[in-house]
Amino acid sequence: MKRRNFIKITFPIMASPSLLATGTEADKPEVSFGVIADPQYADADVRGNRHYRNSLKKLTSAMEELNKHELDFTVTLGDVIDRDLKSFDAIMPLYRKANMPLNFVFGNHDFDVAGEDKEKVLNSAGLEESYYVETYDHWHFIYLDGTDVSTYRYKKNDPRTKTAQRTLEKVRQQERPQAQSWNGAISEQQLKWLNAQLEVAKKSKKRVIIFNHFPVIPLNDPHNLWNDEELVSLIEKFPNVIAYMNGHNHKGNYAVHKGCHFINFKGMVEGKTETPFAIVKCYADRVEIDGFGNEPDRKI
């Protein structure tokens, strides 16, 4: 597969002596991982530019390439499927061909399944918790659940669904563009958990990359979390948060906000043959993102 694109993010070296690399050490990544966004597979006809069935072939091609590299893990930024729990049965065997650990965050389409199947989604992706953290070397990776407060995550008669409906109505009253039923929010409980994790990373002088399905920057985008401002305000308090990576907006996007890089990866489901994905390499003084397929060229 032809590699087309490259992103280079540079940032000051933190004060910790353990992060000061010289010579060949600076050329060796401390952590490397793959990124896939929005395969959104379904046994369904093409709608617009979404080629649902083609995601099986695209994911196969991406995994073959990722397996050629020494990666610590690969993360999928939500929407593994487009609809129906049975879609997991077709796409997950392709993931299991990976020779590295697999991590997932969840998107709105992952829960576009029958009411009685919603509680089976996490297990279908091999997870027990919907938000969690992992540490590699000097890096802290945080996986968020932007479907935590949403109108589709739980059954219609679930109290949490009714709470989410009230939250959505408040956002609509504020006339915010992300007041869409296919978005969601981070719960207060999860925000407290995130704050605690960021404090741990700060005290241990670890850099942080946050993964979520939904974007938050630029603010008030139609694809954003309902409570994007609240999450961004929290991130602003921790300068060791290097990047926030997400999917959801299939066109992709990129912005820098107060030193943090917000990277929206392109959706794999879009296009007949385009197969966007990436490899991220974290060094002591920089992050390099090698894009494949039609991931856009950016140099920072």
Least confident of 85-89, 222-226, 282-286: 282-286
Q: Tell me, yes or no, if the pTM score tops 0.75.
A: yes
DSSP alpha helix (H) spans, 108-256: 121-124, 159-173, 188-203, 228-236
For residues 92 and 128, is the Cβ–Cβ distance under 8 A?
no
Percent over 90 (pLDDT), the chain: 87
Domain spans of the chain, in order of start: 3-11+28-292
Alpha helix (H) residue ranges in 15-156: 55-66, 86-95, 121-124
The string of pLDDT tens digits covering residues 132-187 is: 999 998 999 999 999 999 999 999 999 999 999 999 999 999 999 999 999 999 99
Confidence band (pLDDT; 50, 70, 90) for 10? low
* pLDDT surpasses 70 at 2: no
List beta partners, residue 246: 264
CATH architecture of 3-11+28-292: 4-Layer Sandwich (3.60)
% of the chain at pLDDT higher than 70: 90
